Structure 1
Amino acid sequence: MPYIFLAIAIICEVIGSSMLKMSSGFTKWWPSLIVFIGYGTAFYLLSLSLKSIPLSVAYAIWSGVGTALTALIGIYFWKEAFTLQTFLGLTAIIAGVVLLNYPVKN
């Protein structure tokens, strides 16, 4: 269940981040409201996931996957450039999340 909370938290955070652009600096009411609801829900669900998932792992997944998905939304919906630098950055984020979740033998 904690990873389901984390997955939904990531989705809510990505929605909130995406609506930041649409809010035009919080001058548009509906996108601004969605930003607050998205982030509020994301942090609440992240806090629930932290009951069972270590902070370093949960936050790395939450921020890394959220950043990668937000970048992909920017590329797809806002027609932002997809460059070699973008590709390498997204690859590094994904590699970091994988490494943090890889079990270490002591």
Structure 2
Amino acid sequence: MKPWLLLAGAIGSEVTGSLSLKAATDQPAWYALVVVGFLTAFTLLALVLREGMALGVVYGIWGALGVALTAVLGAVLFGEPLTALMGAGIMLIMGGVVTIELGSQRAVAREQQEVRA
């Protein structure tokens, strides 16, 4: 459970940094939150990897959910367009995340069976 909470924090921090970057184009004071957001995100990602999660899974989930949340929140907060095609892309991203996670679980199970044999 702990790695998943750390990963959620990393995603939230990265999205915060990205949204703050957009806000900083009008008000440069937001750059402070950009720096804090990205430093926090990378620190939390390092902690997730120390907990033993696979790099491909961590990066895939972090990147995919970061993109999806940033697109949705960019539309909500900044009035950026969010088209049906973009929504389909977000759904494909989510499908990719699920596929990566399922593949990772199978690989771990197979590795554990080989160790037992």
TM-score normalised by structure 2 residue count: 0.83
Q: Please identify runs of 4+ aligned residues in structure 1 that moved more than 4 A.
A: none
Task: Supply the AA of the counterpart residue of 2:106.
Answer: V
Using the alignment, how far apart are the partners of 2:106 and 2:48 within structure 1?
Answer: 21
Q: Say whether 1:99 aligns with 2:106.
A: no
- Paired residue secondary structure (1:20): helix
Report which structure shows greater RCO (CA 8 Å, sep ≥6). Answer: 1
Identity of aligned residues (%): 37
**1:104 Cα deviation (Å)?**
2.9
Aligned to 1:86: 86
When the two chains are superposed, the root-mean-square deviation of aligned CA atoms in Å is: 1.5
1:19-30 correspondence to structure 2 within 5 Å: 19-24=20-25, 28-29=28-29
How many residues get paired? Answer: 104
Asked if structure 1 preserves the Cα contact closer than 8 Å seen for 2:71 and 2:82, the reply is no
Aligned to 1:3: 4
Aligned to 2:38: 39
User: Which protein has the larger Cα radius of gyration, Structure 1 or Structure 2?
Assistant: 2
Higher fraction of helix: 2
Using the alignment, how far apart are the partners of 1:61 and 1:83 within structure 2?
Answer: 23
Aligned to 2:115: none
